[in-house]
Copies of this chain bind each other. A is one copy, B any other.
Amino acid sequence: MKELAVVLASGGMDSCVCAATAHQNYDLAMLHVQYGQRTQAREFRAFNEICDHFQARHRMVTNLDHLAKIGGSSLTDTHMDVTEPDLESTSIPSSYVPFRNAHLLAIAASWAEVIGATRIFFGAVEEDGSGYPDCRSSFVEAFNALIEQGTRPETHIRIETPLITLSKEAIVKRGLELAAPLHLTWSCYQGLEKACGHCDSCALRLRGFHRAGTQDPILYEDDQQRHHYT
């Protein structure tokens, strides 16, 4: 039997490509975390379909409602507007949940220790302009140090971030090389049936497919959006 890797899987494209990378060498323990985001039902469906595709050995769905309680972000606070995309901006977007990835990695690390997984695959991307402080390599290295300090002496778990230096274009290409099921993924912050094509996440995704010279296999509300971001 292969060693186990925990994969943090939102249901989006990046974590799907991350799962495909892990799947080359590990059996998968897929972890999905809901935190009151607007599109969580749609993301949950994508997560399950991706788990089925990879025949995951374990799957766990957990809830971090306190992130919605803490607020301070347009992803969870329905009183804040989702900002229009500005792909050149270097400031922190309003969709930032303070310190969010620390929560996700803490769950992954606890679970990994219990089930005996030796790796955590985490699809963070340092993409120019995204500006999330908890998506950088230095944050991940700090978390690896924390795991080493905060778990049993015999436990050795490392976080792998195979996408962290990649552009969305390169992620699309990697996904195609690995035959990752991109048609099952969901990235949109706003839509439920079809992707909106307008939010930050759709804009980055569409530009990635465009630059990779291929077409996004998912459906958009306005099919012209496919060609809008270049």
Contacts and interface: CB of A to CB of B under 8 A. Distances in A.
Contact size range, A: 35 or more
Given A99-B106, A103-B107, A110-B99, A62 B60 contact: no
Given A102-B106, A133-B152, A146-B142, A66 B62 contact: yes
Contact of A62 (B65, B98, B101, B113): B65
Copies in the assembly, this chain: 2
Contacts of A138: 149
22 contacts: A62-B66, A63-B65, A64-B66, A70-B110, A70-B114, A71-B114, A98-B109, A98-B151, A99-B110, A99-B151, A102-B109, A102-B110, A102-B150, A103-B107, A134-B149, A136-B149, A138-B149, A139-B149, A139-B150, A142-B142, A142-B150, A143-B146
Interface of A: 60, 62-67, 69-72, 92, 97-103, 106-107, 109-111, 113-114, 133-134, 136, 138-139, 142-143, 145-153
